Chains A and B, each alone.
Chain A
Amino acid sequence: MTLLIARKELLDHLLSLKFHVCMAAMAVLLGLSGYVMYRDYQLRMENYSVLRERARLRPGEMGVMAVVEPRPLAVFAKGLDEMMTRGYTVTAYAGIEAHTRQTPAESLFALFSPPDLLYIVKVLLSLIALLFAYDAVSGERENGTLKLVLSASISRGQLVAGKMLGGLAAITLPFLAVLGAALLALATRPGIRLGSDEFQRLAVMVLAALLYTALFFALGVLVSAMARSSAGALMIALFLWAALVFAVPNVGNLVAEQLRPLPSAETQEMLRRQEFAKNRFLWIQSKGRDAAGGPEAFNREYDRLIEDYRNRLDGTIELSKAICRVSPAATLSYVFTDLAGTGLSEQRRLTRALMDYKSRNLPALIQQGGRDAPPPAVFEFAPARAAEALSGGVLLDLGVLALSCAAVFALAAFRCLRVDPR
């Protein structure tokens, strides 16, 4: 019986205009996203090659350029990739300074930022799931078909399970087919390396996308079972969608910032310059004899300031993440970006790697420009392995998604079991 209902639901969706419009929009966006994001990745890889060459050619100058390679999975979840993959100048006296944007061409993408897979799943797929589910119960009640179906020898549990299965299949099967085609097209393109590690990450991303879609579908069914009319259900569903996808993540960040305020970047920079001026003054006054004002001391002070700021930032980020996890969209973003190596965890790892690099190469950086000065080592920042990314927070977020999904499914099923078909 469950399969019969699921089959009917699937066929009903496949024959509807709603299905064709939604799937066409999804296919167009996925295809466009794949193409534009791939071009964007190529452009950033070209930038990376140029910057890396410059980093090697600067042994005679002060400081060294640290460059981070763009992540191939940024094509699917760009996250902070653009922010992370700019060049960084590492010097003994000015610390680590991030460069601004690299090319004017990137401004073009910044103005009309292309939707990546994360955006399509987060915004479009959740909306499609709600549009497919909002009238699952209320629509059938209005049409009288709910009474007709329940007049047969079928339990409400079977009916609910069938409706959920069929509805979900109608959304996820075309999504997987289009995504598979887009992946195949990308994998055959030159310049993008998608190995087994990347495919493992992609598989987890797809799993997260399916859980997220299922959650919104169940939410739609729940609303449908509670509302008296389909129009009312649609209004409530759209309100919840806007709140969960757009409002909660932003409000979460604001609340976290209020609860654990951070000094602004300007304040941070002012403190750093004050520290630098103080140390230079002491050093010059002692004609280089007082080590308390020397470059090592300055770097210690600088590192302490950065470490202090980083700890406070980490605290705020963790609080913000904890609050934002109320929104499945935020949780999905954490999963996608952490897996793609473009998330907050990777940014934290990069900051640590840059600080370690500076500490390790401090003697070379201090002597830089002098005769017989050894050239500083080239900065290397390898992406975290898939297993590392999973244990570093992805599993937690995946668990949160799975649990939220199960909870909303249970609520929807419970409400449907009690629904009045009259």
Chain B
Amino acid sequence: MIRAIDLTKRYEDGLLALDTVNFQIKPGEVYCLLGANGAGKTTTINLFLNFIEPTTGQALINSIDCARTPLEAKKYVSFVSENVMLYGNFTARQNLDFFARLAGRRNMSREDYYMVMRQVGLPEKAFEQRLKEFSKGMRQKLGIAIALVKDAPAILLDEPTAGLDPKAAAEFLELLKKLRAQGKAVLMSTHDIFRTKEIADRVGILKEGRLVIERTRAELMMEDLEKLYLHYMQAGVA
């Protein structure tokens, strides 16, 4: 569903942000991209969303090249960013309604929106509350609700648990598990090794634009992810 083939990005200033990265995420799989700041995690997500174009290689969603036919590829992907701000003057339901219509879902009723918001764990009183009054955790939940409403088979998450308190982060992971159970392919960039261990079916560690190691959940049962991560972070790139 989500696939990177020799994905490379060199910026205009000469910085090699991503160097021949390859991975594939199947439906019902959560793939976590770990790495330090500037390792290329967000660049990878940006390439799948066609916010930037690859220097070489391909970013594919549902076998559609994101650089060649971005609008077609985006039909199959939902995105949840690090800090979901949304529109502060709108209520949660109005935000959801706008993004649902943007995703082509025009026949949803007020009750349908309420149901989705219940599903992500937003309190009832927040449904018609302006986003200005929402905490970060609540906004992240609404971000997931937006992804749910679109019902796309692929989901991209850019450091979604950054800045969340432990309870909110745990609730967020529960939602991800539900999405995985629904057969969504999830690509999540994160610094959070603890959450990665809990949710990831596969983990890739990026260092200076290169995918230096990839491990499955089964493999991680026998290895300490934290040690592995620190080992690769301290070692030079081969």
Chain A residues with a Cβ under 8 A of chain B: 1, 4, 8, 11-12, 15-16, 143-145, 147-155, 420-422
Contacts and interface: CB of A to CB of B under 8 A. Distances in A.
Interface in B182-232: none
A151 B49 contact: yes
B77 to A, nearest CB: 7
Nearest to B80: A148
Contacts of B82: 144
B51 A421 contact: yes
Contact of B84 (A8, A15, A148): A148
Contact of A4 (B81, B102, B156): B102
Interface string B40-84: 001000100101100000000000000000011011011101111
A151 B47 CA distance: 11
A12 B49 contact: no
B77 A151 contact: yes
A161 to B, nearest CB: 15
A152 B74 CA distance: 6
B90 interface: yes
Contacts of A147: 49, 51, 79, 81
Nearest to A142: B85
B101 A4 contact: yes
A152 B89 contact: no
A422 B150 CA distance: 22
Nearest to A421: B51
A145 B80 CA distance: 10
Contact of B81 (A8, A11, A15, A144): A144
A4 B99 CA distance: 10
Nearest to A14: B89
Contacts of A11: 89-90, 94
Interface of A is mostly: loop
Contacts of B74: 151-153
From B77, B86, B89, B94, residue with most partner A Cβ within 10 Å = B89
Contacts of A4: 98, 101-102
What are the nearest 4 A-B pairs in CB distance?
Answer: A151-B79, A143-B85, A15-B89, A153-B74
Given A144-B83, A148-B99, A153-B103, 11 more contacts: A4-B102, A12-B87, A143-B86, A145-B86, A145-B87, A151-B49, A151-B78, A152-B99, A153-B75, A155-B71, A422-B42
B104 interface: yes
B81 A150 contact: no
Contacts of B79: 147-148, 151
Contacts of B98: 4, 8
Contact of B71 (A12, A144, A154, A420): A154
Contacts of A150: 49, 51
Given A144-B84, A147-B79, A148-B99, A153 B72 contact: yes
Interface string B120-158: 000000000000000000000001001000100000100
From A4, A151, A152, residue with most partner B Cβ within 10 Å = A151
Contacts of B77: 151
Contacts of B89: 11-12, 15-16
A238 to B, nearest CB: 23
A142 B85 CA distance: 9
A379 B6 CA distance: 88
Nearest to A4: B101
A420 B84 contact: no
A144 B51 CA distance: 13
Contacts of B71: 153-155
A331 to B, nearest CB: 35
Contacts of A422: 42, 46, 51-52
A136 to B, nearest CB: 13
A154 B102 contact: yes
13 contacts: A4-B101, A11-B94, A12-B89, A15-B89, A144-B84, A147-B79, A152-B102, A153-B71, A153-B75, A154-B71, A420-B52, A421-B51, A422-B51
From B42, B46, B85, residue with most partner A Cβ within 10 Å = B85
B108 to A, nearest CB: 14
Nearest to A18: B89
Nearest to B150: A152
Contact of B103 (A145, A152, A420): A152
Given A153-B104, A154-B102, A420-B51, A148 B86 contact: yes
A228 to B, nearest CB: 16
Contacts of A420: 51-52
Contacts of B146: 148
From A15, A149, A420, residue with most partner B Cβ within 10 Å = A15
Nearest to B84: A144
Contacts of B81: 144, 147-148
Contacts of B78: 151
Nearest to B101: A4
Nearest to B82: A144
A154 B104 CA distance: 10
Nearest to B98: A8
Contacts of B90: 11-12, 15
